[in-house]
Structure 1
Amino acid sequence: MNEQPTRIEGQAGGRAHFRYFDLIMAAFVAILLLSNIIGASKPSFVTLPGGQEWSFGAGVLFFPLSYIIGDVLTEVYGYAHARRVIWTGFAALIFMAFMAWVVVALPPAQGWPHQGAYEAVFGNSWRIVLASITAFWAGEFANSYVLARMKLWTRGKLLWTRTIGSTVVGQGLDSLIFYPLAFYGLAGWPPEQLAQVVASQWLIKTAWEALLTPATYVAVNWLKHREGVEVFDTDTDFSPFAKSR
């Protein structure tokens, strides 16, 4: 596939107008919030060929899509624009956690029988909330940084190497932070099982990225052509706290 768009820029720190950036940011935040609300609390399983049940967190089916969108954002619009999206998602997660805490804490109206179910679904402990937000922040910034750096090293070629390579780092850091921070030391979570869950979640998320590589190529090339831009972060400040121009 042709990876060369119509215009080359040195970096994307400016506030250039892009037609699809806001839509992609909205999709990123929506998937991030929905995967945490709907999928995070439910374990599911698949039956292996030998008849053994293998459990996994249901959210792992959709949460990796946020990383794929993060790859597309960094590849097409550059690290500085991806940084704005990551901070937007971070703020949305904090507000979601605060809203869930307030709504769960409100006394239910007399006769409403679902408070227990509501608490079971939305009443996450402070450890899980802190672990989720911290893991997202660290993993997404690592993912974006590695992709932007690898784009410079590969001179914009071999897109698959940087989408998969950045996911290996970002998703690995995400899983390594979330599960120990959320569950270490709790009953039912022996260290051996915790390590297995970390490894399996990392492998599943990375496998999703590899499997969807053809779709990533299509999205990246289409956006580069439509936006008329190719961003190389040659002069970008990679600090997560730097301000975009």
Structure 2
Amino acid sequence: MFNELFGIFTFIVTFVLLIIMYRMFGKHGLLAWVAIGTIIANIQVIKTIDLFSISATLGNVMFASIYLATDILNDIYGRKVAKRAVWLGFSSTLVMIIVMQLSLHFTPSPVDTSQHALETIFNVVPRIALGSIIAYIIGQHLDVMIFSLIKKVFSSDRTFIIRAYGSTLFSNIIDTALFVLIAFAGSMPNAAVFEIFITTYVLKLLSTIFNVPFGYVAKSMYRRGKITSKDEGY
């Protein structure tokens, strides 16, 4: 049960950190979160763990936090800012891939102890990242579009939960399917790939269900004027 309990702890820490970033830096904190989060999630997803005796990849909680960050940006600052966040996350991942691939091609010193470890992680990242980039761009744009469409019908603060759930639950199906197929198909047995798809989507689903209260906390801070000065300070 350690992984399950530690997963709950990690979930809480992740979303509390997101709220702290928003509280300290306003919308720029959320934009930074999307950029940092895509890099972290693409590294985390390399690691496979067992949850309730089922194989799953890490990174699901971080990806869920990125979706929440873009939903908050979309709800408070508009679709244009949310789309900017999506492209910022894409650019961050692309920069990481290029820079780390260049770094791996340096000849290491005889006393170096990190080359093998870096190769183990970042030589796997390009395929993982390719799947993530394609899934991320399509999934996030779907999320932003669906969120905006739902907002035209349900626009009050109380219906943020409908906008967040409706947009994320659908876009995550497409996101997860694309990512798992590109990142793992052919390198694992089909049964394992399907298992990863199911567990990944279920974990994202659970993360979405339980992360919306953090979205309400962010919106509450904005309504009470605790964020405006941060937005204007940059």
TM-score range, shorter chain: 0.7 to 0.9
Q: CA deviation at 1:225?
A: 4.5
What is the aligned partner in structure 2 of residue 177 from structure 1? Answer: 178
> Which is higher, the Rg of structure 1 or of structure 2?
1
Q: CA deviation at 1:55?
A: 2.3
What is the aligned partner in structure 2 of residue 238 from structure 1? Answer: none
Q: In 2, Cα distance between the equivalents of 1:41 and 1:184?
A: 14
Three-state SS of the structure 2 residue aligned to 1:212 is helix
What is the aligned partner in structure 2 of residue 196 from structure 1? Answer: 195
TM-score normalised over the length of structure 1: 0.76
Richer in helix (by share): 2
1:112 to 2:106 alignment:
no
What is the aligned partner in structure 1 of residue 45 from structure 2? Answer: 40
Q: Which amino acid aligns with 1:208?
A: S
Q: What pairs up with 1:35-114 in 2 under 5 angstroms?
A: 35-37=41-43, 39-46=44-51, 48=52, 53-114=53-114
Q: CA deviation at 1:163?
A: 0.4
Q: What pairs up with 1:230-241 in 2 under 5 angstroms?
A: none
Q: CA deviation at 1:102?
A: 0.7
Show CA shifts across 1:89-148 (max 9, x none).
111110011011111122111232332221001212543221111111111111111111
Three-state SS of the structure 2 residue aligned to 1:111 is coil
Three-state SS of the structure 2 residue aligned to 1:106 is coil
Structure of higher RCO (CA pairs closer than 8 Å, 6+ residues apart): 1
Percent of residue pairs bearing the same amino acid type = 23
Three-state SS of the structure 1 residue aligned to 2:111 is coil
Q: In 2, Cα distance between the equivalents of 1:162 and 1:65?
A: 15
Kept after mapping to 2: 8 A contact 1:90/1:137: yes
Q: Structure 2: give runs of 5+ residues left out of the alignment.
A: 1-24, 229-234
The runs of at least 4 consecutive aligned structure 1 residues that moved more than 4 Å come to none
Kept after mapping to 1: 8 A contact 2:42/2:125: no
Q: Structure 1: give runs of 5+ residues left out of the alignment.
A: 1-18, 229-245
Three-state SS of the structure 1 residue aligned to 2:169 is helix
Kept after mapping to 2: 8 A contact 1:76/1:224: no
What is the aligned partner in structure 1 of residue 29 from structure 2? Answer: 23
Three-state SS of the structure 2 residue aligned to 1:62 is helix
What is the aligned partner in structure 2 of residue 236 from structure 1? Answer: none
Q: In 2, Cα distance between the equivalents of 1:173 and 1:225?
A: 36
Q: In 2, Cα distance between the equivalents of 1:44 and 1:205?
A: 15
Q: In 2, Cα distance between the equivalents of 1:151 and 1:62?
A: 24
The alignment covers a number of residue pairs equal to: 202
CA RMSD of aligned residues (A): 1.9
Three-state SS of the structure 1 residue aligned to 2:54 is strand
Q: In 2, Cα distance between the equivalents of 1:214 and 1:88?
A: 25
